[in-house]
Every structure is written in C-alpha cells, then in structure tokens.
Chains A and B, each alone.
Chain A
Amino acid sequence: MSVSGAAVRVRGLRKGFGDGDVLDGVTLEVPDGEITLLMGPNGVGKTILLSCIAGGLHPDAGEINVFGVAPEEANRRLSFMLQDAMLVDELTGRENIAFFRDLHPRSTETPDDILERLAFDTGALEREVGDYSGGMKRKLELAIALSVDVPLYLLDEPTAALDMTTVERVHAMLAERRAAGETTLVSSHLPADADLADHIAVVTEEGISATGSPTELLETVPRVVLAEGSADITGAVREGRLFEGELRRRGFLREDTDPEAVTAAGQGAAVEVREPTYTDLFNYYVHLETPGDG
C-alpha cells in the first residue's frame, strides 16, 4: 500500500528483545484522516509496532515517520492507548485521569463525557482501579487516550474485553473523529473491528500479509466451505486446512473445485458454500496467505 497523504510511514522496521525479532522488516503506511486496523492474532507484535510508532520503543532498524518527523518529535501530535500498561491500581480512576491530563499539553476535560458514552459508571472513578474489571480498565484507558486533542490516535486493542454494544459505541466515536479529519491506527484481534476500518493491515508472525480496504481484501478471500456433522470436506478446501467453529468446521474452497459438487457430496450432512466474512478474512490472511506466498 502506497499512500500519498500518509500520517505514518514505516519502512523496514525491525525490533527484537534478545530472544529474536518480534518485528522483522515491517513496512506500513497509515493514510491521513482515516482509520487503519492492524488485524492479527495475539503475540505477533501489534503492540510493539504501535509502541514504536508512538515513540515508546525504539526500532533496531528501519525508519518511522509520523507527520514527516521521528516519533519522538511528534509526541505532542499523537495520543497512545497502551492496553494494561497505563493505569496504576492503587490510584482511583479520577487520579489516573488527572495524572495523564497533566502530562500532555493537548489534554482536554472530556474523559467523563467519553466514559458516559461508553456506559461507564462515572461514580466508579472514585474507586481504586485495582477493583475494576478488565472492561472498566479498557474504557478508562480509552477515555484517557481520546481525551487528548491530537490529529493521530494509536489505540492498542481498545475493544478487547468489551461487550458488543460498547464495541459499537467505540466504533461510533472513532468514526466521528474520522469525520473531523483525525487519523486512527488501531490494533485488534476481533474481526468485528473490521467494520470500523477504512484500511486493514493483517499482521502475522511473518510480517504484514495483506493491506487494503475491507472490501478489497474480502474480494481476494476464497469462498468458504462449511460443514456440520460427519461430512468430510478436507479435499475441497485449500491446503486441507479446516478451522473449527462452535458448530461447524470451515475451510477455503479450492480454486479448481465446483461449489455445487461440494454441497452435493455432503450426502445428507449439512455442507454449505458461502461468501467469506471478516472472520474468514482473518483466518485466511493469518493462517494461509503469508507474505512469502506473494
């Protein structure tokens, strides 16, 4: 993906921690004024990538530009939400907010408004954060990050541990910021977050396996074969790879396979071929289509 108006440009980023590289040659461009989703499973380095872009970690090799300058020089123009590494348990929610408000010159007085929109009981702000649930901590971290008035937000899994109603509220808030021209780079392992994105970059252990708009990427994902019960669909799916779901197994239809023949071969068992969803997109680019596959 090459973007003319990029808020963030990452070139050949390499970052390791002694036991090998977590990121090995990552290249990424984040379009200005849009929402880009870093989609990938846990442990592939999404947080490390966001931390490097935010200036919280320094690359071993490669180059990062944020609005044309190094991250350290752009720190007044970005706000970084870092999952599980911001809040101090011994402080109340209100005290944690006050701490971060005093550190950033572009802080505003809006965390309460944001928290109310996220269905957070603001009365709980007087309690110590150590008593909060995971979802409450996430909402507080998000409110702190979004209450800074900057043109770039870097959000590390803001919807993790949130219920779907709240996830949709988060999406609505980020969409409003996009409408105001602000840029958001958000990481997630939840396919539902793809609804939010203008661009998706799929991150795997091998690097970024695909980038594009959600529609563009969905068009590249093969149709999906789903089977219930004893039906054997191994021969009909790519690489013979099946993904177990709650009720059904699924795989990606082989290029040379007729969908009608697959469903007919079910012989009474429920076999279906349908268009891919974002969950399928995630599975396809994370588990089947690696950067080396071209």
Chain B
Amino acid sequence: MSSRSEFGQTGTEGSDGGLLGGGRWLRQTKAFALRNLRATLRTKATILWGFGFPAFWYFVTSLLFLPDAGDIGPGATIGEIKGATAVSLGLFGVLTVTLVAFASGLGEDLTAKRYRKLRSLPVAPSADFVGRYLAGVAVAAVSYVLVLLVGFVDGAEYALHGPGSVPVVTVSFLLFSLVGVSLAVLVTWLVEDSEIVVGITNAILLVSFFLTGYNGMNPELLPEETRQIVNIAPNSLASRLQTFHLTETPATTPTGAQTGGVTPPSFPVELEFVALLAVWAVAFGVVASVLMDQAVYRGEGGE
C-alpha cells in the first residue's frame, strides 16, 4: 500500500518526457515496442498485406513480367534484374508495414479510446512514438528480408557495391521506415477512424509506387521532364539507393530490357542523396513527434 506522507510531500510532477529518467524512458519505449510488435505480428491483415502481398507480387512479376534470360542485352543478367526487382518490391513491403500497419495500429488505439487511459499515465509521448517506430522497423525488416529471400530462391543475385554499402543500406532502411511511420502518424491524426486510415494509407502506398515509376525502378515510365523525381521522392530514392548498394547495378529492368533502364537519371550514389533521405526522415519525424505530443497526448487524439 502507498505511503500517504510520501505522496503528500511530492511536488509538482510533469507528465512530459523531460522529467523522466532515461531508464524509465527506455522501459516505456520497450513497452510500446513489444506491445506493437506482438499485436502487429498477430494481426492477419499484417501477415497478408505486409508479408504475403510483397512476396506474392514479386513472384507474379518474376513469372509474368521479367524477360527471359535470352532476351536480355549484354549489360545485365536475369539474376541482377531479379535482384533489383526484389529490392524494389521489398521496399514496397517496408512502406506497407511502416505506413499501413502502423497507421492501422495507432488508429485502432485512438478509435478504441485507449488514449484516455494512456494520457492518465506518466508516459513520455516520445517513448510511445519511438516504441512504435522500433516495432515498425522490426516488422518491416522481416517483410523486406522475406522478399529478398523469395527473390534469392527465384535466382535473384545480390552483391554489396562496396565497403560503404552496409551502413548506407542500413541507414537508408531506417530513415525510410521513419518516413513511413511518421506519415502514418500524420494520416492517422488527420483521419482518426481506423478503417478509413487503412484505405487512405493503402492509396498513398500505391499512388506513390506508380507515380515514381515502380519505386524508381522504371523511370522511363514517367514524362522525361519529371524523371528526376525518382531521386527525390523518399520511396523511390530509398529504393534506388538500396538497389545500387545491394545489387550489381542492372543495366536493364523488366520494362527496360526493351526500352531503356533504371537510368537516366543516374543512380543516387553520392552521400548527398543519403542526406536528402535524412532530411525527409527528420522533417516527417519532427512533424510526427510534435503531433504525438501536442495532438495525441496534450490534446485529445481519438475524441
């Protein structure tokens, strides 16, 4: 039982993260991460759309749309093309998980009025956001690796471009996941209703995929004057960064076997492009953090 004198002596205690000890912040972050990781992995929709759909899409693409080995020019092999396709659709899976699944989970918490309880607790909003982000990263990594594995079994070839490829791949994956999770917070804040949130985030997912020439893998599908967007938009930028560093740069792609390739524009090989992705991630991350703090916790998100 509580000691009344102990609480009677207690001064004003804020609920913001600034007054939390680092240990307690980590404990709360872990709590949100585990909760969301478990809930996401036990949701059939996540299994179906986050894991099954990207892998299935890769399989269908490989079966129906990739050229035969004999039809490929001397600049590439079918293994490289399959590798690039797997990376592109793997990143599609990453966005599916971080955007759609994350938004669905947050929307459900808001719709179920769970934040009435969470706001009554001395919770750091940043712990909530970071915990959810870490859960999203973990599930997204599984989705991504699953597509790469399916591609590998199908004959896709992967190769690190150089010693700097591992950190670039890792950092760009984390940054892109942050963009997805942050966008999910933004959409959920705007819409709140968990069912509508899923529809809107799916629409964003598909529109961004097609408007950037299949995540930047087929820029020739875009008007020439707008092709540069594939090295700017976060989804295609991340996809092209990963493709460059995880595969032998393919001279051709499914469509490109006949009509061109993943270039032009040239691959985003300079560090400035990683920095650009970081700018996207920080910008979205700051907006999402502010929304979690001001709209969800200090405000009345879900009401």
Chain A residues within 8 Å of B, Cβ to Cβ: 17, 33, 51, 54-58, 67, 69, 71-78, 80, 82, 85-86, 88, 90-91, 95, 98-100, 102-106, 128, 149-151, 154, 177, 180-182
Smallest distance from the beta carbon of A289 to chain B beta carbons, Å?
30
Q: Give me the 6 closest cross-chain CB pairs, A-B, nearest first.
A: A56-B116, A102-B31, A54-B120, A180-B1, A90-B42, A80-B120
A17 to B148, CA, bound (A): 48
**B116 x A76 contact (CB < 8 A):** no
**B2 x A149 contact (CB < 8 A):** yes
A67 to B299, CA, bound (A): 23
* CB-defined contacts of B14 to chain A, threshold 8 Å: 72-73
- Chain B 107-119, CB-CB to A under 8 Å as 1, else 0, gives 0000011111111
**B27 x A102 contact (CB < 8 A):** yes
* CB-defined contacts of B226 to chain A, threshold 8 Å: none
A55 is contacted by which of B8, B34, B112, B119 (Cβ under 8 Å)? Answer: B119
Smallest distance from the beta carbon of A228 to chain B beta carbons, Å?
44
Q: A85 with B116: in contact, given A76-B13, A103-B121, A182-B2 (CB under 8 Å)?
A: yes
* CB-defined contacts of A98 to chain B, threshold 8 Å: 31, 34
- Chain B 12-56, CB-CB to A under 8 Å as 1, else 0, gives 111100000000100110110011001100110000000000000
A226 to B82, CA, bound (A): 83
A73 to B16, CA, bound (A): 10
Chain B residues within 8 Å of A, Cβ to Cβ: 1-2, 4, 7-8, 10, 12-15, 24, 27-28, 30-31, 34-35, 38-39, 42-43, 112-123, 299-300, 303
Q: List 8 A-B contacts (CB under 8 A).
A: A33-B4, A56-B117, A75-B15, A75-B120, A85-B114, A90-B42, A149-B1, A181-B1
**B39 x A177 contact (CB < 8 A):** no
B15 is contacted by which of A55, A100, A106, A128 (Cβ under 8 Å)? Answer: A55
Closest to B21 in A: A105
A90 is contacted by which of B43, B119, B303 (Cβ under 8 Å)? Answer: B43
**A67 x B30 contact (CB < 8 A):** no
A77 to B120, CA, bound (A): 10
A103 is contacted by which of B28, B38, B39, B115 (Cβ under 8 Å)? Answer: B28
Q: A103 with B31: in contact, given A73-B15, A86-B114, A182-B2 (CB under 8 Å)?
A: yes
Smallest distance from the beta carbon of B12 to chain A beta carbons, Å?
5
A85 is contacted by which of B2, B15, B30, B113 (Cβ under 8 Å)? Answer: B113
**A76 x B120 contact (CB < 8 A):** no
**A72 x B34 contact (CB < 8 A):** no
Looking at A77, A86, A102, A154, the one whose CB has the most chain B CB atoms below 10 A away is A102
